[in-house]
A and B are shown apart, each in its own frame.
Chain A
């Protein structure tokens, strides 16, 4: 934040389109000066700080199925863009099948902020520190995007282009995120290292997800995603490959954690140094793997 942060939000127009197509067209016509609005918890901070200068905020929370939270054993979980994090956490379906997602939400800011904050908003901000993004990545999240040309899908794995940058084009509105059905017995862990016990942004965030998978030599599939240690939220394919092809034991986890450490490229900033972050990626990845292993019943 700057010393010149605005005391209040600067002037803009709040726009509430009647349909998704109207919203997409408006956003496309006002490229560079309009932004879709979900919870607003990041947008407002950035506007007050003079970082965003949009003339229009286009409220898309009420459109189409953005308010939907649904689960189907065959199709999986669908979270509308407007579904706030507290609702995600409280959902028995999420708790039963995607506990990792609830755990990630719990680490975000405070309860009252999560009444507004959304997972889709977290994703669209494309912050490398986004706490829920790791879970969404390892759970195989796919975004439903509505643009001027209608609907399309964007897999999360190829969504991020850099800090704050995504593949979205003017007019694009992410309306929901979908997750395939979780493999039976899958388990995951999100370890967030912040400066405070709760509520802080992460210095390092490590998401690990694993399940028994007969198709792999080790009999297991493990994935890891890292927060705050690269320009974008980071999946670690090398870790997945290592644990697919080596017998699962403490040494394999240790080696996998080293691979995660090698994959990341943290920087020094006000929250932590690159050196500490590197060290923590190894330590916490190993710990998260062990915790996941335990959760898997081992």
Chain B
């Protein structure tokens, strides 16, 4: 069966990868490129642990073929922090105690980043709705929602200072 050579940008760096047709983006990230921060929780588009940004929009990376990502730009959890400085969503989720086992956290952070990008002032209801595809079994979600709201506020005050 056919292999495809694709070129794409992951966390700001170009990668060229040979992938078989049936390889998902998640498999490619984890098994080919060792971006193991992105997690496999169900492989069925239900749990959201594998969420990454594809051209700026969150997707379940288990629900997209690697070959479909030719020319795409991917951001994984490893790409959120810049030069060791955490993204506001990362810092806020630590500060609010929104991390427990940490397995859903990468997907949650990506969903949160995408939400704030499209809606800089999300309400708690909007945050909850944006997270409905990120199952978390530890936290009960409340601290995650608080953290995202706080992250949006922090980002705004950061922007105001610049």
Contacts and interface: CB of A to CB of B under 8 A. Distances in A.
A9 B21 CA distance: 9
B54 A14 contact: no
A13 B59 CA distance: 22
Among A12, A48, A113, max chain B CB count under 10 A is at: A113
Interface residues of A, number: 28
Contact of B43 (A7, A57, A110, A115): A7
Interface in A1-52: 1, 7-14, 39-41, 44-45, 48
Interface of B: 1-2, 4, 20-24, 27, 43-45, 48, 51, 54, 57-60, 62-65, 67-68, 111, 114-115, 129-130, 132-134
A59 B132 contact: no
Nearest to A111: B130
B21 A14 contact: yes
A59 B22 contact: no
A115 to B, nearest CB: 5
Contacts of B21: 11-14, 57
A14 B24 CA distance: 12
A198 B129 contact: yes
Nearest to B107: A112
A14 B27 contact: no
Top-4 shortest CB links A-B:
A110-B133, A14-B21, A9-B22, A112-B58
Contacts of A59: 68
Contacts of B68: 14, 40, 59
Nearest to B67: A14
A109 B133 contact: yes
A116 B44 contact: no
Contacts of A115: 54, 57-59
Given A8-B23, A86-B57, 12 more contacts: A11-B21, A11-B22, A12-B21, A12-B22, A57-B21, A57-B65, A110-B133, A111-B114, A111-B115, A111-B132, A113-B63, A115-B57
A116 B63 contact: yes
Contacts, number: 86
A12 B22 CA distance: 6
Contact of A41 (B20, B45, B114): B45
B20 A11 contact: yes
Interface of A: 1, 7-14, 39-41, 44-45, 48, 57, 59, 86, 109-113, 115-116, 196, 198-199
Contacts of A110: 48, 132-134
A122 B86 CA distance: 38
B27 A8 contact: yes
A111 B27 contact: no
B133 A112 contact: yes
B24 to A, nearest CB: 7
A14 B4 contact: yes
B152 to A, nearest CB: 16
A116 B58 CA distance: 9
B2 A40 contact: no
Contacts of A7: 43
Contacts of A45: 44-45
A198 B141 CA distance: 15
Contacts of A13: 1-2, 21
A67 to B, nearest CB: 13
Contact of A111 (B62, B65, B67, B133): B133
